[in-house]
Amino acid sequence: MSCIRKLRKRTKSQEFVYQEQCKIVAHENGKRIGLEGDPDLQFLLNGGDLLKVKSRSWRKTRYFRLNEDLKTMWQETSKTFKSNSGCLYFRPGSSWPKASDQTSLSAICQTVAASSLSCMYVIKKTRTKQNQRILVKTPDISRETLWSFSLEDVDSVRYGRQTDGLRKYTDSSVEDRCLSFIFKGRRKNLDLIASSKEEAKKWVSGLEKTKSWIYNCMRKADKNADNKMSLKELKHFLRQINVEVDDSYAEMLFKKCDTSNSGTLEGSEIKHFYDLLTYREEIDVIYKKYATSNGQMSSADLLNFLQIEQREPVSLDYAQKLIMKYEMDETAKQNKYMSKDGFLMYLNHEDGSIFNPAHKPIYQDMRQPLNHYFISSSHNTYLMEDQLKGPSSTEAYIKALMKSCRCVELDCWDGPNGEPVIYHGHTLTSKVLFRDVIKAIKEYAFKTSQYPVILSLENHCTIEQQKIMAHHLTSILGSALLTQPLGYQMPTTFPGPEELKGHFLIKGKRLNKLDAAFNNNTTEDVDSVSEEDEAAELKEAEQKPKEKTAKKIKLAKELSDLVIYCKSVHFSTFEHSRDNQAFYEMASYKESKAMNLAENSATAFIHHNMDKLSRIYPAGSRTDSSNYNPVPLWNAGCQIVALNFQTPGKEMDLNQARFLPNGKCGYILKPEFMRDPASQFDPKCLTVGPWLQKKTFHVMIISAQQLPKINKDKQSSIVDPQVRVEIYGVPADNASKQTHHIDNNGKCQQCIYTYAFYQSAELALVRFVVEDYDAASHNDLVGLYTLPFTSMQNGYRHVPLLTKRGSLIPSAGLFVHIMVLDAK
């Protein structure tokens, strides 16, 4: 390329002015997100050196800092290159010769300018979807690499050695200095080591503070980055948050808020504009109806609203506590009344949520036998994607455990150097060390729930490597691994989750009966057992009927002895299990077999599960790691209904809903009629009994707020919302009804009723699905929320919305009215 222009360096005075301007920009942006003067934010803006880790041998020091726009992270490093001819001079901040380069490199130029590099040579420039790079040379210093990434691409920032890379390539001595950027999608993690524990924590806490959804939309709309918003920029901002407004109305509001008559809005003026625009008529109507004390809602008025509309049997004292909790106006608090703003605050928070806050903590009896609970369970836990060629990773175990999964699967095979590995056998899935998986499980098992974790072993290893497995289990898990039954005599039933808190249970083959652990009886010991597992079933399916034989596998006593309450056995019939198998002997069922039993022998299956544990797993033909519907299996009392946690969809939504209450601890107590030996409950044929609770369910979809845009590439794209309400439970209760779609209305205001009739409320799940209606193709998912029927609150309620992967969509939600009545 030819030389464009050669410039002089900035003088000291010019540099001083420039740096002051940068500080002002950062200060204004900090004010916008409520971090004015925040020391963590200032630390990020100053930046510092971090050690970047890619392997044991690749470790390089890089300088990182947060750009003044508070949305971009920069990495800088110096490199030495041989002389390069044909270089290009450019002025930082100026446009490039090619129009296609102009946008992608403008931010880089500004950051180069902040580094006081007024004249430089371009050595190399590249651009990818995630980041931008440019190599430059200045007359005064060595050539530098500048690399950026957007904080919007960062899913989370983790403190400590919490990724595969850091655990593999670093020692435990640097645990409190490590941090990692976890990116969205399939982009690799960025693993770093700070110079001190304090600095590592500052990086993590500071970055967490800067992730603000509304602010991200504002700064996207502020095209010229002057921290002021013109009417055009405000319209762009409103489209980002899915608020459509008439041009003349927007202009009228804009002039009303522009108190400085500057032609732009800034600071509180922007907030005022947003508040006026997002005024909700339905809230105004409800408030005026009950605010009978001179237009204000007194504590007595609020009590009437709670008792009449919300159908809550509460006292005046409770109403006054809500005022103290949600009212922002100090005068209103002192006079014990709730303003309209406080009322809206109440409706948009926990007490106004559709989910009953009384069900948020652990509220169920946790001392019942283990088999009396539904247990959140994962299949092929080690996989991040499909089961043919997807990667295996400890990260998959971490994600499942952080979702309170209480039963994880370990598919174990012989590995190199005498170390067992975990992967999906006979496929192209990658391998992960058994030892590393156990370490990750130990670290994360009890972060979200203290109740026991079951390790379901699919053992394909030789005796030698089975002994290594047993060694890793005992040495890594230590006293948390249950190696003896609780108590001093042979148990006849399971202990409860409360008794097993903080413990790991091994599910697998055992060479002898459990009572051998008490009487030291080794006469039953053999060195092989029947291979009754998923792999065996797949092999049998490929064989001709006459060739089917009970395959034997060698089993190490060291591993066998670790199996206490979850001994894997073959299922023949319910009668055979009742007469010949102990309570701790459990079977695993392929989904088709389990569905058949649930369909044709539901009552017998329910009684079987009153004494024993049952584990269900997806068919091997699901090579894409899809899932089956878990509800019919729960209806049959099955406890360990294992799903592919890595695969989002309706089935995982239902699983997330089933385990939403009770502190999200991963254990839900089954209804009493599924635990009573005298019960004759049959989900297909509902005779009179305690399970028959006829209810009428009325739901009115009133409005929606801040639905996210689906097609972000189209500037004019506004969601055409359509809401569907689905019921999942016993067959008689399954239902689905939906509203009419509303064209170009991100607020979704409508009054559509859905009626549903319930037979067995304790097993029912309610699913709200919001879609972007499209007459020509399949509707796009906007958001969804699922919860147990018995955890719903009556009255005017806020329904939060989640993404298809179960993450909360900030600020988005439905406003509904719920009424559940006893059916006549």
Please list the active-site residues: 379, 424
270 touches 230 (CB < 8 A): no
Q: What is the 3-state secondary structure (H, E, C) of 499-545?
A: CCCCCEEEEECCCCCCCHHHHCCCCCCCCEEECCCHHHHHHHHHCCH
Strand 407-413 to strand 453-459: parallel, antiparallel, or no bridges (unpaired)?
Answer: parallel
606 touches 636 (CB < 8 A): yes
How big is the chain by its Cα radius of gyration, in Å? 31
98 touches 104 (CB < 8 A): no
Contacts of residue 716, defined as CB under 8 A and 6 or more positions apart, other chains included, come to 239
* Helix 197-209 vs helix 39-46: crossing angle, to nearest 10: 100
Residue type, 529: V
Burial 594-608 (b: 16+ CB within 10 A, else e): bbebbeebbbbbbbb
Query: Half-sphere exposure (CA, 13 Å, Cβ side) for 367?
Result: 0
Element (DSSP H or E) covering residue 688: none
Strand 121-127 to strand 143-150: parallel, antiparallel, or no bridges (unpaired)?
Answer: unpaired
Long-range contacts of 92-97 (CB under 8 A, 24+ apart): 92/117, 92/118, 97/1, 97/4
CA 811, 183, 75 angle in degrees (round to 5)?
115
Burial 753-777 (b: 16+ CB within 10 A, else e): ebebebbbbbbbbbbbbbbbbeeee
Residue 75's DSSP bridge partners are: 64, 147
CA distances in angstroms from 788 to 9, 396, 399, 609, listed in the order given: 66, 26, 23, 22
Residue type, 678: A
445 touches 453 (CB < 8 A): yes
CA distances in angstroms from 120 to 7, 78, 159, listed in the order given: 9, 14, 37
Nearest to 223 by CA among 206, 238, 237, 242: 237
